[in-house]
């Protein structure tokens, strides 16, 4: 009997240690950041300019703006959790070729952006980038695009403002779904400092919503995207594009994905 109790005690201590490990290091798992020196240059072979904002707490925030000729609108693109604009900026021609300027911010701690992390700060920063576009663009010309973790910034913005549409690539309903997908045995309800409740925010969205997700996604579970889609109000124009062979980072390889972007972004504001 003593051996059994010893084994249980060791298991309990190991489980507690795992919980504490995740609690204190979760930001390293959620935000895989790579910093750049402020003077570093981007070497894209297409036009781009650097933009800066100051956060509510004085943090310096950085983004790249990719212009195109005779733009029909602008896309505010929130990228995924791994890497900064050196990686994600390469995607800008995907949208400038369709006639859209692109504003792509780096969240705090990514690239040249600085400042202490918190969910509230990230949401406030995203809203500041959105408002910065209103100096140049009408809201019906602004498209919000959220890629994976970026969906957690784009979705609340769409609920708070009136953009032309919301495009979500491999999004989740809430971060709890993603965490459980990796390791289901931890009590994430108690451990997670970041909730990112897209499912709650999307219930307040009024603009059209279009979701792209692969059924073989091994990072963000497909069922979480389905729950997010189900949370969109019935009166909102919506569509979910499912890719049975799609994974987390390869949807752009499918001709159907490219066709959908051309069709959606080629519509006039308010078009059916």
Residue 121 sits in a domain whose CATH number is: 3.40.50.1820
Task: Judge if pTM exceeds 0.85.
Answer: yes
Backbone torsions φ then ψ of 144, nearest 5 degrees: -95, 130
In this structure, what token pair is assigned to residue 85? 């604009």
% of the chain with per-residue pLDDT over 70: 93
pLDDT-based confidence at residue 72 (cuts at 50, 70, 90): very high
pLDDT-based confidence at residue 9 (cuts at 50, 70, 90): low
pLDDT digits (tens, 9 = 90+) for 166-189: 999 999 999 989 888 777 777 888
Overall average pLDDT of the 126-148 stretch: 97
Neighbour tally for 77: CB within 10 Å: 28
Q: Domain count for the chain, please give it.
A: 1
In this structure, what token pair is assigned to residue 107? 């969240």
Higher-confidence residue of 31 and 14: namely 31
Residue 270: inside a domain: no
Residue 272: inside a domain: no
Predicted local confidence at residue 4, as pLDDT: 63
Residue 31: inside a domain: yes
Spatial separation of the C-alpha atoms in residues 37 and 111, rounded to whole Å: 8
Residue 160: inside a domain: yes
Per-residue pLDDT for 271 more than 60? no
pLDDT-based confidence at residue 20 (cuts at 50, 70, 90): confident
Residue 70: inside a domain: yes
Domain that includes residue 120, residue range: 2-265
Partners of 40 in beta bridges: none
Residue 14: inside a domain: yes
Cβ proximity of 127 and 157 under 8 Å: yes
pLDDT digits (tens, 9 = 90+) for 32-41: 999 999 999 9
Per-residue pLDDT for 3 more than 70? no
Partners of 211 in beta bridges: 168, 240
Predicted local confidence at residue 272, as pLDDT: 44
Residue 271: inside a domain: no
Cβ proximity of 140 and 270 under 8 Å: yes
Spatial separation of the C-alpha atoms in residues 270 and 272, rounded to whole Å: 7
Taking alpha carbons only, the member of 255, 259, 253, 202 closest to residue 225 is 202
Residue 134: inside a domain: yes
Helix (H, G, I), strand (E, B) or coil at 173: coil
Neighbour tally for 269: CB within 10 Å: 15
Residue 239 is given by DSSP the state E
Q: For the ranges 72-81, 189-198, 202-211, which has the lowest average pLDDT? A: 189-198
Overall average pLDDT of the 228-240 stretch: 97
Spatial separation of the C-alpha atoms in residues 265 and 95, rounded to whole Å: 9
């Amino acid at each position: 009997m003593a051996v059994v109790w010893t084994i249980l005690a060791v298991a309990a201590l190991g489980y507690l240690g795992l919980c504490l490990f995740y609690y204190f290091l979760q930001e390293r798992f959620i935000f895989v950041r790579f910093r750049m020196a402020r003077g570093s240059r981007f070497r894209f072979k297409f036009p781009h300019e650097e933009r800066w904002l100051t956060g509510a707490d004085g943090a310096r925030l950085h983004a790249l703006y990719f212009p195109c000729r005779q733009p029909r609108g602008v896309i505010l693109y929130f990228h995924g959790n791994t890497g900064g604009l050196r990686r994600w900026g390469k995607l800008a021609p995907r949208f400038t070729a369709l006639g859209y300027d692109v504003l792509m911010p780096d969240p705090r701690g990514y690239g040249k952006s600085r400042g202490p992390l918190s969910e509230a700060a990230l949401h406030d920063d995203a809203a500041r980038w959105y408002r910065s576009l209103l100096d140049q663009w009408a809201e019906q010309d602004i498209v919000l695009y959220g890629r994976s973790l970026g969906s957690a910034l784009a979705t609340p913005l769409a609920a708070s403002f009136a953009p032309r549409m919301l495009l979500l690539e491999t999004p989740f309903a809430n971060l709890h779904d993603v965490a459980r997908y990796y390791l289901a045995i931890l009590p994430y309800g108690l451990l997670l400092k970041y909730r990112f409740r897209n499912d709650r925010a999307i219930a307040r969205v009024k603009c059209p919503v279009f979701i792209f997700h692969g059924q073989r996604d091994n990072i963000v579970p497909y069922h979480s995207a389905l729950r997010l889609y189900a949370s969109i109000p019935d009166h909102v124009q919506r569509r979910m594009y499912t890719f049975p062979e799609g994974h987390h980072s390869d949807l752009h390889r499918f001709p159907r994905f490219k066709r959908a972007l051309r069709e959606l972004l080629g519509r006039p504001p308010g078009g059916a």
